[in-house]
Structure 1
Amino acid sequence: MYDGPILDDHLHLDPVNGRGVEAAADFADAGGTHLNVLNKPSWDLVGEVDDAEGFREAFELTIEVTERADDRLPGRAWPVLGVHPALVSQLVERGYEPEGAADLMKAGIDVAAGYVADGPALAIKSGRPHYEVDEAVWAASNSVMRHAFARAAEVGCAVQLHAEGGEDFTTVAEWAEAEGLARDRVVKHYAGGYLEGPLPSVIAHKDELERACGNDRPFLMETDFIDDPDRPGAVLGPKTVPRRTRWLAESGHEDALRRAHVETPASVYGVDTEATLSGDAR
């Protein structure tokens, strides 16, 4: 049976409206050890944002709750900071031109990159809308994403992508490489068990996890828990990744689990989940 680290690659903790650190405690109680904590959309945490300082306020809230979660885990919790791609639509509705919205979102990415460079944050979050938008908004969103790739290359970190569904993101991976970021440092969150281009952070549904375990490609596991009191347990609850890990171990997927919880986090984020679990690198 697999008895190593267990990482949820994409989970939200909302210290303003949600359960916050108590959700991390649930994860730990279920056997989880490590968390990548994504900031909630800025509008959920601080309301309307019109400058870089608004993003900074949202990021500081996420860093603080992540530090508290870190104290509740046998391993580590790391912040992953960035700008939710749906913000472009809100800004356009408020009167911004798409290019102006993109400029503001890029400023938020710059703030996130600064937190990576200075140490608190592990990676950057970016992407593009997962719903239909007009050509100008789509182009603006892609420019924000490419800016995130460029800044990640500068500060030496990975990028988690929030994007539309699908299995072929080869062009996106090529854009990352053009901006200086290796494609194996681009992670598509809420991915299925198979993906071309970036690495998949597989949503912890049993069928998709079985697909991911059925080949020898790198992958991660996530719940996309959103910590919303109006939607408890959405998208998946914080206990899900530990429970799915045990289920996969019982099915004989120990090698795949080591790939998801040890090898891929090391190659993508440069973290040692085994050493941090034992305390050697804390």
Structure 2
Amino acid sequence: MKKVLIGLGIGCGVFILAGIGLMLAGGIWAKNKFGGSIEAMQSIQAQEQELTQLNASNPFKAPPEGQVLPLDEPRLLAYLTVRESALPAFKAFEAKSKEFEAQHAGDGDEKPGFNAAVDAASLFMGLMADVRKAYIAGLKAQGMSPAEFQSITTTVYASMVADSLEQIGAAAEQGRKMMVTQLAEVDKRLADDSLADEERAQLEEARAQLQDTLDAIEEPGANEEQPLSEASKKAAAANVELLKKHKERVELMANVAFDGFVLGGAGADGQAAGLE
């Protein structure tokens, strides 16, 4: 049997999809047969209502599109606390999912059997409800809405990427200057009338390649993005410094699979929202 818990770190796989399909198609019969899964689904639906209520009771206005959210240290620490309080439930989900996969591995089946599909769906639904329960409890304890949590998540990841891109950009600029220097050196050598034809041909080919690369780098709009406002530039720089201050906690909390679970709930407008 192929891996059945894939994507999002573990994901749902064919077992879970098949099991959910059976439960949805089975109606009342499924409710009697798979009571635990139905209860978990009902819990998840109730949790969506709780998330919507948290947005209403803890109003949060995200910055306009293209602008940077300035991270407030107390709210960042509250955010990290929410993640840390919910991650153990997600780790338990991962462990139990791997156990399930190991139990059903190696039997050679391409498609899940009926019982395995139902078991996988029950496992997934129950553990997902557990993760959401811990997440919601964390939000309530910190007085945080899922909209604020989502906005901070996006800002944290974007700031981490921006810091890396800034370093890459500095290296790229250094590389561009080196290419300009190399071109000047090649031109100087090509000006030597005593060059053998073979060496001249090699230098001309090398020069053409260098020039093509340099032209691509310097082409207008090649690396151009929508410019940030001065306020957003300051916010982005301050965010990077704040994240560095709490580097260990930030690195420990980074878990895109976890985000796929919790950000799939009510977002800023109370509707389904998630990471792109």
TM-score (norm 1): 0.20
Q: TM-score, normalising length from structure 2?
A: 0.20
Q: Does 1 or 2 have the higher relative contact order (CA < 8 Å, sep 6+)?
A: 2
